[in-house]
Structure 1
Amino acid sequence: MTSIDTQLPFEELVAQVRQCRICESQLPLGPRPVIQISRSARILVVGQAPGRRVHETGLPFNDPSGDRLRDWMGISREVFYDEQQLAILPMGFCYPGTGKSGDLPPRPECAPAWRDLLLERLEYIELTLVIGQYAHAWHLPGGKAPVTERVKRWRDVWPEVLPLPHPSPRNNLWLRRNPWFEEEVIPQLRKRVGDILGR
């Protein structure tokens, strides 16, 4: 891979990300980086990697996981997809393929290549939603810890960061077993999002 110029203007950096081919040979459907970003964004959503439907549409969280996430946040699709307010940077920008028990992990090449360069340009972020184990491991202190443990300790990093379980329908059992999450955490999340976005 050609080295990346760390002094690139923001728009050129984003254009390079959208043309990224670092792990092209490892992607079953080929590269299609799916991100949403603007320097003015005040909320950052950090997911795992696009699923097949997101790969096909090019729209992040354009699936049942996104429907649940928007419900958790208490916002409409229109607000969610307003890049001036909300940035979406998954740990892997391209669909990694499917394994025996769901989508494969984000490709490991992606985050080291792009993540810090993009995050340092997002100067106005007031809340970062960190979704799932790979995002937790990168964005939260303490290395790898179980998702449930991270989410239970949400107050440790609140109100700037909020660790979340994945909103996938695959996590319905987790939500039933952890009713405190929707009782305690979601109301705080909705209030914080509303305060930040001025609604």
Structure 2
Amino acid sequence: MQQLLSDINRCEVCKKYLPLGPRPVVSGHPKAKIVIIGQAPGTKVHASGIPWDDASGKQLRKWLDITNELFYDKTKIAIVPMGFCYPGKGKSGDLPPRPECAPLWHQQLFDHMPALELILLIGQYAQKYYLKEDAKKTLTATVKTYYEYFPQFFPLPHPSPRNRFWLTKNPWFDHDIVPVLREKIKEILSV
């Protein structure tokens, strides 16, 4: 696993497309039981090198009901985004994750995580990539039918502050889904 992570950290496959240059932000461990697959690091995470080190991460940890220490315990939770490096700015936020990372690195990482029990699919990019034709027509419909993807996957919306409108429009997520998510996380991690 250490050699693989070292190879990933030296990756320059899409260097010419990255406005801030390559800085892969990914973590994993053979004992990890949960993998979090989000989109790609933003500028703050690119600068710190710490995954989910922003407002989105704070909200995600709140949904999961876990401490920073547990969230960053690589022996329990791996963080493997769809794109490992900051992809740049778009018209309405960051650009989509670079398409090279997931097919190049994800399966290799998962092959080194035999204890893996659950993959959290955060946002449409992760859901479309992993659920393929089983994903519903909308992220809302996919998240609402999360139980169809057990025991391997748990689809979630993105916890970004930019997603406030979605969360306000879909109060069932906080009332119905978050408690199930927390129970599942607690069960797997024995928190």
- Normalised-by-shorter TM-score class: over 0.9
CA separation in 2, counterparts of 1:115 and 1:78? Answer: 24
Q: Which amino acid in structure 1 is aligned with residue 185 of structure 2?
A: V
Matched, 1:179 2:178: no
Matched, 1:138 2:129: yes
Query: Number of residue pairs matched?
Result: 190
Provide TM-score, normalisation by structure 2: 0.96
The answer for the alignment partner of 1:3 in structure 2 is: none
Deviation of the 1:141 alpha carbon? 3.9
In structure 2, list runs of 5 or more residues that go unmatched: none
2:83 to 71, 89, 92: 92
CA separation in 2, counterparts of 1:141 and 1:53? Answer: 30
Matched, 1:68 2:65: no
CA separation in 1, counterparts of 2:159 and 2:70? Answer: 18
The answer for the alignment partner of 2:187 in structure 1 is: 195
The answer for the alignment partner of 2:2 in structure 1 is: 11
What value does the CA root-mean-square deviation take over the aligned residues?
Answer: 1.2
Provide TM-score, normalisation by structure 1: 0.92
Matched, 1:153 2:145: yes
CA separation in 2, counterparts of 1:21 and 1:77? Answer: 30
Query: Equivalent pairs: percent with the same residue?
Result: 48
In structure 1, list runs of 5 or more residues that go unmatched: 1-9
CA separation in 2, counterparts of 1:111 and 1:186? Answer: 27
Matched, 1:34 2:25: yes
Deviation of the 1:152 alpha carbon? 1.2
**SS of equivalent residue, structure 1 residue 106:** coil
Matched, 1:169 2:161: yes
Where has structure 1 moved over 6 Å in runs of 4 or more? Answer: none
Deviation of the 1:39 alpha carbon? 0.8
